[in-house]
Structure 1
Amino acid sequence: MDWKEILRRRLATPSTSPNKKKSEQELKDEEMDLFTKYYSEWKGGRKNTNEFYKTIPRFYYRLPAEDEVLLQKLREESRAVFLQRKSRELLDNEELQVGEKAGPKCKQFFTAKVFAKLLHTDSYGRISIMQFFNYVMRKVWLHQTRIGLSLYDVAGQGYLRESDLENYILELIPTLPQLDGLEKSFYSFYVCTAVRKFFFFLDPLRTGKIKIQDILACSFLDDLLELRDEELSKESQETNWFSAPSALRVYGQYLNLDKDHNGMLSKEELSRYGTATMTNVFLDRVFQECLTYDGEMDYKTYLDFVLALENRKEPAALQYIFKLLDIENKGYLNVFSLNYFFRAIQELMKIHGQDPVSFQDVKDEIFDMVKPKDPLKISLQDLINSNQGDTVTTILIDLNGFWTYENREALVANDNENSTDLDDT
């Protein structure tokens, strides 16, 4: 018989004093007393609830405070020992050469699960040895890199702050042959350039920290570690943000724009960026929304600006530009905001002796390209989903970009003619 049945029968028993009626409150008190008694017995006789809570295992350990030096040192040492143990569990170069005697470390790779992952279309149900070897190499590299990054995770919470990643890249530089030519005086600027790409794309909410898991999942670390290749082609270096030529190009552009040599960029100086055809309205928004110092932009803020404009197809870049275009901070672009920016394009066209294009036509083209869920509003997600975000933003902020879009058919025809002429020769 459970406690509910006991309680029901006890309350159903007639009172020993039938002539004395109990008040409603007395009945409630008796019911609560009986409930407490039988519930305690049913739970094993625990009358003190504190005893019950003591049986719950501890699942939270607070991080030591800054003034708790001893606890911090203990935590750092224990994490270092843990990471060293994990590192020893990985295959080294000799063990990766799979021979007749595969050690215990290899056991994790010789499983049905791994085999199924690598099995594709072989009619005999086989997997390639090279394919298997590359898989193991990749897994070992990921674990090694994760351990290496975790050594810089001061908080031990699975993420890196900006200063943590800066330390990691700074100590990585001497191990990358493609960066041998960098002057040590340029190291701090190189590190800043490299770190900004990670944080611009992996920390869109600007929390100041990135998950180590996200770093491993993206391709940026592959690009950075590609610089270990001593024979990396010139073309690969030019397209790799982390290469020495790329970093020197970006920093060189910054220095060239800085006409007064004060280490910062004013709005007038930034207006000469690229083809110097961005509208003043857009530049005003850049300096309103982005972090500046006495109305001027530092190198770190400039890097965000460059990353956004050079990667306009990427969601993080579109988010950056969308925030600037959303002048009313409503979370969408409407006809008013589109007209606000395109009027500046029309003004530049007049200045350059071109016949202004009708806003109504451009507005219709933009909505046709994006096809937003709401026919009167364009959200950031609409821009991303349309795969036309780079074209739309270019039309609104850059005269040269708009001219290229407007004359795209003529430019394509001209390119085709040039190709034909080259083939004939």
Structure 2
Amino acid sequence: MSTVDYAKLRFQDPQQRSRAAQRLEDSRSMARGAGATGAQVTEARSRYDNGQINISDSQWRAEWLPGRYAVDPDSGVLMPPESWRRKRALQKAAAAAGDAPRTVSPLPHPQLTEEQKAHIRERTLSPTPYNAAGVAIRPFLTQGSVAERVSIFEKCPAELRQRGASTELQDKMRQPAIAAWRAQNEVKDKAQTYGRERDGRSSTESPPASSPKSPPRRTANARPANKSALIPKFHFPYGRPESRDKVEAQLQRIQQAFNSYPGGQVPKDKFAAIAKACELPLYWKVPLFLAAGGEKTGHVTAAAFLDFWKRLLATSHDQASRFVRVLTAGQRTHLVPEDLVPLVQDVVETHPGLNFLKEAIEFHSRYVHTVIARIFYCVNRSWSGRITVAELRRSNLLKTIQLLEQEEDINQITDYFSYEHFYVIYCKFWELDKDHDLLIDKSDVARHNDHAVSSRIIDRIFSGAVTRGSARKQEKMTYMEFVWFLLSEEDKKHPTAIEYWFRCMDLDGDGYLSMYELEYFYEEQLQRMEALGIEALPFEDCLCWMLDMVQPETPGKIALSDLKQCQMSNIFFDTFFNLEKYLEHDQRDPFALQRDGEPGQTMSDWDRFAAEEYELLVAEEGAAEQDPELVVVEETQ
């Protein structure tokens, strides 16, 4: 009798013999078959694989199992000791409570296929490798996700062993996710085939569409060799460079312009042709002549100028950057007032609208300083005393200089260069400067417009809030500073004027006009109105009026941006420090105020004031010529 038959006999009738007899018989049989244990186990395994033994129909004894398993007496299923003890505890608890014992059905177990049995047989016969910790290494089921391990188990073991488990897993990791269910270009090919069939053409007759090569996959650590080739340059602080052909054509024109003069030497008064060859405005000619080194020798040669122009083209590519480079001779990247003197002096000497001023040399410097002060007032928005390339691009200075060449009447160019505006500014200063030293003090400024400006705002002007230089220490104001004062006083809607008076009224310098600061300046206005017998508006009512007009973003204080957005900033400032204009606004038609604040108005407050004052000054000069005694009487008074 074999061991397997003996085991079946034991399981079929376990109650016929006692437990002690069974143990004795087991020990005898094990002693008799100790030498043939391996062959018997192999034979039993083969009979189990061939289906000759049905273990599920037998009843195992608990004594035959290792210590880590237990047999459920109800179902005969192998269970871990923890689960078995838990089930026995539940049954005992139910019996104590008087409930009927509940039976637990065994879990369903799928039948193994022939391929799975062959796979288990091969894995059993092959030696199992172990690592250093003594744990068995199972390469088929230790890598990948649960889905990958299931797919590996379902594949044919023989085919899997030929390829190797590690190679299969590596191939799966390399392939894209879409390759698991659909090849690349498969959708495109099927769509093309479907379209050909709808057109009545068979897919077999048409040539097969060759799938294009997929683009190379870029690894995560790959970086472009040249970053500038992928990201083109987009920031050009000095302009976008011109093409080489255009530069070469320009250099040829310059060479031809120099060849038209004897010896290739061009003097200062003939340099307009060179400026035109460089495609520059006419009144760049003198700064261009000086930048090329013509001041030392009185002329410029072709070689010297071409060398200078090539260096300029290498760094400056637009008109604004070239203007700064020419006027500073390449020394700075910004303009100071002294850099504009040669250009404005050339306008005085050569512009047809200023021919009458050529002989009055004493007025040349006054006109030049007036124009420069107006340029910095409008262009230098940063209040730094230096005009940068960015500020120059945002202004209309270069267009105005180009317009000088086309307009013969310089008074038509009201921006910067108008002689009438210069005449009004200089006459106003001349009236205040009694000693004619080109410096005025607080008392002189107080006499402006018949003491219209309050003394408290004058003190703030001379405190250094809007002035700079050595004259401020002496509590004096220079002529160029007076130009800024007059422009701000007569046109309080200009952005620079708003900043000018905001600096003066901001006593604590916190960037806001608080209520106490407004009350400080309005107190003097109340005193002056009471002295004149005018019914004054209380400060509380005036404050409500101003806040409703300005509508500040932060309640209780007014910022600079609030005044710039307000269209009636002139009324706001005149209310606090210019009594005459405050009364004029109070008595004026409100619809006229609304029309003046419309953006369609071309003439500014300064242009309107300068035109009226110039007519008055001309009328006074005409009356003085007709009656000289009137002038003598006024001077004696």
Q: Structure 2 length normalisation: TM-score? A: 0.41
1:77 aligned residue: none
Q: Does 1 or 2 have the higher relative contact order (CA < 8 Å, sep 6+)?
A: 1
Cα 1:231–1:204, aligned 2, differ >3 Å: closer, same or farther?
closer
C-alpha spacing 1:90/1:353, structure 2 compared with 1 (3 Å): farther
TM-superposed deviation, 1:395: 1.3
2:263 aligned with 1:88, yes or no? no
Aligned to 2:396: 219
Contact 1:338 1:396 in 2 (8 A): yes
The answer for the alignment partner of 2:551 in structure 1 is 371
Bigger drift between 150-159 and 178-187 goes to 150-159
Take 2:346 and 2:331, find their aligned partners in 1: how far apart are those partners? 19
Displacement after TM superposition at 1:280 (Å): 0.9
- Cα distance in 1, alignment partners of residues 568 and 252 from structure 2: 45
Q: Does 1:151 align with 2:365?
A: no
The aligned residue for residue 162 of structure 1 is 337
- Closer, same or farther: CA 205–86 of 1 in aligned 2, 3 Å: farther
Q: Distance in 2 between matches of 1:212 and 1:206?
A: 15
Gaps of 5+ in 1: 1-41, 43-81, 93-104, 107-141, 414-425
Equivalent in the alignment of 2:209: none
Q: Conserved in 1, the CA contact under 8 Å of 2:529 and 2:535?
A: yes
The amino acid of 1:248's aligned partner reads: Y
Q: Is the 8 A contact 1:169 1:191 kept in 2?
A: yes
Give the total of aligned pairs. 285
Aligned to 2:489: 309
One-letter identity of the residue aligned with 1:397: F
Give the distance between the partners of 1:87 and 1:191, measured in 2 at CA.
Answer: 36
Query: In structure 2, do the counterparts of structure 1 residues 339 and 145 end up closer, same or farther at CA, with 3 Å as the change threshold?
Result: closer
Query: Cα distance, 1:372 vs. partner?
Result: 0.7
Q: Provide, for residues 211-235 of structure 1, a one-character-per-residue CA deviation record: whole Å limited to 9, x for no partner.
A: 245334422444455444565386x
CA deviation map 1:130-163 (0-9, x unaligned): xxxxxxxxxxxx9667645531123455422221
Corresponding residue of 2:107: none
Gaps of 5+ in 2: 1-220, 222-243, 255-277, 280-316, 594-637
Instruction: Tell me which residue corresponds to 1:263.
Output: 438
**TM-score, normalisation: structure 1:** 0.59
2:363 counterpart residue number: 186
Q: Residue type matched to 1:385 in 2?
A: Q
- The counterpart of 2:571, out of the listed 367, 391, 404, is 391
Partner Cα distance (2:252, 2:524) in 1: 59
Contact 1:318 1:384 in 2 (8 A): yes
1:294 and 2:469 aligned: no
What displacement does 1:401 show?
Answer: 1.5
Shift of 1:324: 0.2
2:387 aligned partner: 210
User: 1:87 offset after TM fit, Å?
Assistant: 9.5
Is contact 1:308–1:316 with CA below 8 Å preserved after alignment? Answer: yes
Q: Give, in whole Å, the separation in 2 of the partners of 1:91 and 1:146.
A: 22
Q: 1:178 touches 1:228 (CA, 8 Å); kept in 2?
A: no
Among 249, 256, 267, the residue aligned to 2:424: 249
Q: Are residues 1:280 and 2:460 paired?
A: no
Kept in 1: contact 2:505–2:517 (CA 8 A)? yes
CA distance in 1, matches of 2:489, 2:406: 29
Give the CA RMSD over aligned residues.
3.5
Which has the greater radius of gyration? 2
Indicate the residue corresponding to 2:23 in structure 1: none
Match of 1:325 among 499, 505, 528: 505
- Measured against aligned partners, the alpha-carbon deviations of 1:180-224 in whole angstroms (never above 9, x if no partner) come to 222222222211111112222322333232124533442244445
> SS state of the match for residue 254, structure 1?
helix
* Alignment match, 2:582: 402
Assess if the C-alpha contact under 8 Å between 2:453 and 2:579 holds in 1.
yes
Deviation at 1:383, TM superposition (A): 0.8
Judged with a 3 Å threshold, the aligned counterparts in structure 2 of structure 1 residues 251 and 318 are, in CA distance, closer, same or farther, namely same
Distance 1:279 1:372, change over 3 A: same
Closer/same/farther in 2, CA of residues 87 and 208 from structure 1, 3 Å limit: farther
Read off the aligned partner of 2:344 and give its amino acid letter: I
Q: Which amino acid aligns with 2:364?
A: Y
- SS of the residue corresponding to residue 327 of structure 2 reads coil
Measured at CA, do residues 148 and 333 of structure 1 come closer, stay the same or move farther in structure 2, by a change above 3 Å?
Answer: closer
- Contact kept, 8 Å, 1:87 with 1:144, in 2: the verdict is no
Q: For 1:144 and 1:408, how far apart are their aligned partners in 2?
A: 46
Percent of aligned pairs sharing the same letter: 24
